[in-house]
Structure formats: structure tokens, C-alpha cells
């Protein structure tokens, strides 16, 4: 049978295209499986955080207590119900949001600066939060902040200090005509952190008789935190995560170099500004409720990038879940060790890995 010339012949499929499709489907399947496993790890950590403590609760009692919210709100319920609803449940959610915020902030900074050693502390956010929290605890205890509840004085001041420090770093690194650069931002961050640290050390020495509470806060802890602190962090967490996901494509393109990204339509300076703003917002809201929880923003993104992928569309949510799991389980372990600050455990995990990373990248 002769072929009708008016009907186009079907072109043979390119075997290379077929192979690329199979690889892509395989990669997507692997990413989805990784996200599911990380989500399960976060959920398991929350269950452990609710069930374990000074008095362990069986899983059946935890499930029963979770259905007794109305009784607890009305002032009733058992003691176990009140402990779970007023202490353990908000603390479990807080650990998730703190880990999520710090990990996503680390992803953004490492991506926009194209430096695997970048972390939230590099833009002065943690130093600014520490200074203003110290001011709140040592200078403002008598009067506090007008119009703010007493228990929120320290978180509000820490948040203001963190955002102010980030703004100063960005302003110092800005040059008319050329904008900012990763190198200038890092140098400005180091300078601001040093100056802020000097002021904080002066305050610590001047108010040496009242420094105990400051040291506990600086170590990073979720002890005594509740629903009011949770209300402070979750809106910023969701907003920062949404902004981070919107920057996934330009961050991917910037990994090829700023000139290549510009040729593909990326506004580099705007992307850098938005990424730094989102990182500062996420870090500030985490630090203001938990104190200084170090190394999460450095270690988690690097591990996820090495083990999973470099595509920010998957890297951001995977790092968010991994950070939530790390801080959640670290807080569970901290409680089992007699309410040790969670920042101590994350530093014990992140410090050795940071040294390993330095050797791996041949920086030392």
C-alpha cells in the first residue's frame, strides 16, 4: 500500500529524548518519596514531643487528650490533657516552624550568594536579635514595651533587632549603580556582627548580676514557650516559605552565573533583595521565639543539596521538612536531658559537620 503524500509521516522518537524523559520521571519520583519520608519524620517527631517529657504519656492517652480541647479551654480536663494542650502541643509546633524557618533561610542565602557556607548568621540577623533581646531583659524589665504583653517583650524586641540588623547590612553593602554583591554583604555582615557583639558584651558585663536569663535565651530554648509565641512565628513562616518558592526559578538560573541569569531575564538585584529579605524575615521570627539555634541554616540545606538535588523547586520544601525534623527531634532529646537548650544540641550536631564541610571544600 502506497503512502498518501498529504498525510505526514510520523517521525521516529529520538532515543535520547526518551531517555531524558525516563530520567526526569525517575528523579521526580525520588523527590516525592524523599518529601513523604521527611514529612513522616516530622510527624513522628511531633508525636514524640507530645508523648515524651517529665511524665511520658501513652499514645492512646495522647489521642484522647487531643480530642478534649474544649474541656481544657473551659478550665477542665485531666492534668495530662492540660499538659498536652498548654505545654507540649504548642512547643511541638514551635520546633517545626523554627526548624523550617532556619533551614529555608539557609537555602535562600546559599543560593543567592552561591556559597555553601552561607547561613542566617552571616547577614547579622542573629546578632541583632541577640542584642535587642538582651536590651529587653536587662534594660526594659521595669517598664517594658508600651502596649505589648509582658511575655512578648523579648520576642518583639528580638524581631525588631534582627530586621534592623539585616537592613543595616544591606544598606552598607549597597553601591549606587552596581547594587549589592555577595562579597560586600558578607563583609558588611561580619562588621555589623562584630559591632553588635561588642555592645552586647558591654551590657553583659555592666548587668553581670542579671545575666543568667540572657545566657539561657542565647543558648536557644523552647522551654516555657506557648501558643502566644506560636502565633508570632507561623504567619511569617508561611509568608517567607511562599516568597522562597516564588524565587526558586531565578535562584536556579543564578547558579549558572549572574551574567547568564541576566541574559535569561532574571533581575539579579531584585532577586537578591527579595531572597535576603525572606531569609531575614524567617530567621528573625525563629530567633525571636527560640533564641539562637545555630547551624540549622548551614547544615540542613547542604546535606539536602548533597543527598537529593540542587533544584530549588525541590530543595526548598525538602530543606524545610528536614530542618523541622532536626529541631523537633533535637528538642525531644533536649527535654530527655533535663531541659537542655535545644541550641546546644544543634551546635553539637552542626559543629562537627561544619568542620567536615570546611575540609571537604578545602577551605582549611
Write the pLDDT tens digit of every residue in 119-160: 888 888 888 888 988 888 887 755 555 555 556 778 888 889
Q: Which domain holds residue 297?
A: 21-360
Residue 353 falls inside a structural domain: yes
Rg value, the chain, Cα: 24
For 90-122, letters b (16+ CB in 10 Å) and e give bbbbbbbbbbbbbbbbbbbbbbbbeebbbbbbb
Output the pLDDT for position 327.
94
Q: What's the pLDDT band for 41 if we cut at 50, 70, 90? A: very high
Quick one: how far is CA 216 from the chain centroid? 20
Contact 41, 325 (CB under 8 A): yes
171 close to 191: Cβ distance less than 8 angstroms: no
pLDDT in tens, 219-257: 888 888 888 889 889 999 999 999 999 999 999 998 888
- Residue 317 lies inside a defined structural domain of this protein: yes
How far apart are the C-alpha atoms of 242 and 44, rounded to whole Å? 25
**8 is a domain residue:** no
pLDDT of residue 307: 86
Query: pLDDT tens digits for 312-349?
Result: 999 999 999 999 999 999 999 988 888 888 888 888 88
CATH of the domain at 237: 1.10.3470.10
In sequence order, which residues have a C-beta less than 8 Å from that of residue 65 and are 6 or more positions away? 57, 77, 78, 80, 81, 84, 85
* pLDDT > 80? residue 6: no
For residue 5, being part of any structural domain is answered with no
- Provide the number of structural domains found in the chain: 1
Indicate whether 75 belongs to any domain.
yes
328: in domain: yes
The torsion angles phi and psi of 75, rounded to 5 degrees, stand at 90, 5
**What average pLDDT does the chain have?**
84
Question: Does residue 227 lie within any of the structural domains?
Answer: yes
Decide if 10 is inside a domain. Answer: no
* Distance of alpha carbon 105 from alpha carbon 316, whole angstroms: 9
Model pLDDT for residues 55-112, shown as the tens digit of each residue: 777 778 788 777 777 767 767 777 777 888 888 899 999 999 999 999 999 999 999 8
Distance, CA of 245 to CA of 239 (rounded, Å): 10
**3-class SS of residue 277:** helix
- pLDDT score for 9: 57
Amino acid at each position: 500500500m502506497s503512502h498518501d503524500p498529504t498525510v505526514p509521516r510520523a517521525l521516529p522518537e529520538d532515543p535520547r529524548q526518551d531517555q531524558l524523559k525516563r530520567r526526569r520521571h525517575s528523579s521526580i519520583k525520588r523527590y516525592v518519596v524523599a518529601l513523604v519520608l521527611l514529612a513522616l519524620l516530622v510527624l513522628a517527631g511531633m508525636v514524640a514531643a507530645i508523648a515524651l517529657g517529665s511524665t511520658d504519656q501513652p499514645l492512646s492517652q495522647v489521642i484522647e487528650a487531643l480530642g478534649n480541647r474544649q474541656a481544657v479551654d473551659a478550665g477542665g480536663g485531666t492534668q495530662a490533657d492540660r499538659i498536652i494542650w498548654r505545654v507540649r502541643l504548642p512547643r511541638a509546633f514551635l520546633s517545626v516552624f523554627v526548624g523550617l524557618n532556619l533551614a529555608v533561610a539557609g537555602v535562600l542565602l546559599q543560593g543567592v550568594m552561591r556559597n555553601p557556607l552561607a547561613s542566617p548568621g552571616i547577614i547579622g540577623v542573629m546578632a541583632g536579635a541577640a542584642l535587642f533581646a538582651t536590651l529587653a531583659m536587662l534594660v526594659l524589665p521595669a517598664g517594658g514595651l508600651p502596649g505589648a504583653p509582658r511575655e512578648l517583650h523579648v520576642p518583639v524586641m528580638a524581631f525588631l533587632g534582627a530586621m534592623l540588623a539585616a537592613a543595616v547590612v544591606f544598606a552598607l553593602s549597597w553601591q549606587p549603580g552596581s547594587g549589592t554583591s555577595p562579597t560586600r554583604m558578607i563583609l558588611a555582615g561580619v562588621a555589623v556582627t562584630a559591632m553588635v557583639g561588642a555592645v552586647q558584651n558591654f551590657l553583659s558585663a555592666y548587668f553581670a548580676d542579671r545575666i543568667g536569663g540572657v545566657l539561657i535565651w542565647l543558648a536557644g530554648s523552647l522551654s516555657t514557650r506557648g501558643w502566644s509565641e506560636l502565633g508570632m512565628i507561623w504567619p511569617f513562616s508561611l509568608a517567607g516559605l511562599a516568597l522562597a518558592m516564588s524565587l526558586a526559578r531565578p535562584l536556579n538560573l543564578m547558579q549558572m552565573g549572574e551574567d547568564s541569569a541576566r541574559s535569561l531575564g532574571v533581575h539579579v538585584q531584585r532577586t537578591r533583595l527579595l531572597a535576603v529579605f525572606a531569609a531575614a524575615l524567617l530567621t528573625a521570627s525563629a530567633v525571636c521565639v527560640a533564641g539562637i539555634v545555630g547551624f540549622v541554616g548551614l547544615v540542613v540545606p547542604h546535606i539536602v543539596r548533597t543527598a537529593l538535588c540542587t533544584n530549588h523547586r525541590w530543595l526548598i520544601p525538602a530543606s524545610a521538612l528536614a530542618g523541622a525534623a532536626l529541631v523537633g527531634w533535637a528538642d525531644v532529646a533536649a527535654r530527655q536531658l533535663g531541659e537542655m537548650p535545644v541550641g546546644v544540641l544543634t551546635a553539637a550536631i552542626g559543629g562537627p559537620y561544619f568542620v567536615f564541610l570546611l575540609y571537604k571544600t578545602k577551605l582549611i
